[in-house]
Chain A
Amino acid sequence: MSSVITISKLAKHYQVPEREGGLKAAVTSLFKRKYRTVKAVDGISFNIEPGEVVGFLGPNGAGKTTTLKMLSGLLHPTSGEVSVMGYEPRHRSHDYLRQITLVMGNRNQLTWDLPALDSFDLQRAIYGIPVDQFKRTRDEFIELLELKDLVNKPVRNLSLGERMKMEFVVALLHRPKVLFLDEPTIGLDVTMQRRIRTFVAEYNRRYNATVLLTSHYMADVEALCKRVIVIHHGRLLFDGDLSTLVRQFSSYKTLSLTLPNPEVDLVKYGEVISREDGRVTLRVPKAQTSQVTARLLSDFQVDDLTVEDAPVDDVIDQVFSQKEEA
């Protein structure tokens, strides 16, 4: 199977002017400007196969959005190669743009004062979508996202979550084969996040679309992405299954116990994270998990005990902090 997205040694470097504070430095900079090279993306490589949903993770400033902008053709790479469905994105050919979409959580394409239905019509004209296909897709999305009662309201009267759902309809009406989603659930409540996730998963299933998703909400990534690519300071840290990432990078496991006397001192067994409703949660080094579990079971009358991997959020946090210290 040939890859939909191929990136090879991709780099984007910026020359950023810089100077020290004060009058002298300001005057000097008029004659002699100093520049610093910022390596927003620094030689990353990966392939994505048709129909894959891949989480693209990294802290702020890691280079995620820069990479997405290079993939969508908004930025020209400094070096390296990018190919999406055989197109070179930087040429931004209309054929290419008709097959992709970029959804950014903080940008909108809807006309503020008009009902979303009018924006949908405009989108049909922009992409030259045949009328029958347009109506079918529009109605299908309206049903999937439960928007029937909202599409006739002016966009300005919709809540943030409702607007975001409309944004997804607008962005996908032309049935793109590749979706670049940059923080699509940012600022949304939990219910709305879940609705958007379900919609993306359903779109991926129905149209075998390839999705590259950045999100700071690990729930998005856990629900949608089997595979994750982690970058930091513009470099690739990890590319593989989410479960492998957790196994590889988590240094501890979480033990939850229900005890008759939850106030008992457990410090010597691990780090106590919480005590709630008679249930104690401990953080235990991964290597000692089975030994600590056995000791707890022998030392106390345990009503219930579960052992879980560290939450993905914590693992990612740990990956970044480890690399920061390295």
Chain B
Amino acid sequence: MRRYVEYFLATARISILSQIQYRVANYFYMIGMIAEPVIYLVVWSTIAKQLGGVVGGYTAGAFAAYYIVWTLVRNMNIVFTPFGWENRIREGELSMSLMRPVHPIISDIAYFSGWKVVVIILWIPIAIFLAWIFKPTIEFTVLKAIVFFIAIWGAFLIRTMLLSLLGMITFWTTRVSAIFDLYFALELILSGRLVPMTLMPAWVQNLSNYLPFKYTFFFPIDALVGNMSTNELWMGIGMQIFWITLGASLLSLVWRVAIKQFSAVGG
């Protein structure tokens, strides 16, 4: 266990050092990513104003809070993609990772965790700037802040499991971008990335309760900017743990089959 912790910290350190090297690129990337929530924010703020200041319980200030926090959650949600798996197999990088006495997915989690530290630091000035422009209304409590902090890492892990599972498909075929696109479309609608889930039709909200997507976007954001009860907050964390555990179990199962496939045909 101690060895794993040491490995985790060393990999995260390498990631932080690498991302610091790319700090300008990282900043431009994050700034580019802001375009998406700002568009949503402007549209919904305009609609709210036209409808007397409130849409589905959200004021312009509440929308601002939602989408500003969205920018951090979105960045926390960046994980190793299925396209990355495809590339890793095609270019032979997986062979070199498999020669190390550490699971490649553990390496990914460690590396991206380090990256997140840089992301959080770079996000702070962006959030201050957006707050100055859009004037969010937000009620902080210590409990909300703690749950939010846990939830953004939970979101990162759920999405790592989901996208790694998708990535496993590339062990059999590399022509799967259509499946990836379908996944991303579902995620857009069912996660709260496009609009807060409470603005969606009831049946979409119901459906999202049985799927992991909303625990990667809506739940962490709403935990900080919404009005969830203490019970709901901890229930949300419980659901994140459930999806992480289920995802990890499935991934472990699929990995065993996938790696046999890889070992049978090479790469």
Binding site for B on A (CB under 8 A): 14, 66, 69, 72-76, 90, 92, 94, 97-98, 100-102, 104, 107-109, 111, 113-114, 118-119, 121-122, 124-128, 154
Contacts and interface: CB of A to CB of B under 8 A. Distances in A.
10 contacts: A97-B99, A97-B100, A97-B101, A101-B99, A102-B99, A109-B96, A111-B18, A113-B21, A121-B13, A128-B7
Contacts of B98: 73-74, 92
Given A74-B266, A118-B14, A125-B6, A94 B101 contact: yes
Given A69-B266, A92-B98, A126-B101, A121 B10 contact: yes
A113 B18 contact: yes
A21 to B, nearest CB: 21
A202 B6 CA distance: 31
B102 A74 contact: no
Interface of B: 3, 6-7, 9-11, 13-14, 17-18, 21-22, 92-93, 95-96, 98-102, 260, 263-266
Interface of A is mostly: mixed
B94 to A, nearest CB: 9
Nearest to A69: B266
Contacts of B17: 111, 114, 118
A90 B259 CA distance: 11
Nearest to B264: A76
Contacts of A90: 263
Given A125-B7, A128-B6, A66 B263 contact: no
Contacts of A109: 96
Which of B10, B92, B101 counts the most chain A CB atoms within 10 A? B101
Given A107-B96, A126-B101, 6 more contacts: A69-B266, A75-B264, A113-B18, A113-B21, A126-B102, A127-B100
Contacts of A128: 3, 6-7
Contacts of A127: 100-101
Contacts of A76: 260, 263-264
B102 A75 contact: no
Nearest to B103: A94
A122 B14 contact: yes
A280 B7 CA distance: 62
A125 to B, nearest CB: 3
Contacts of A111: 14, 17-18
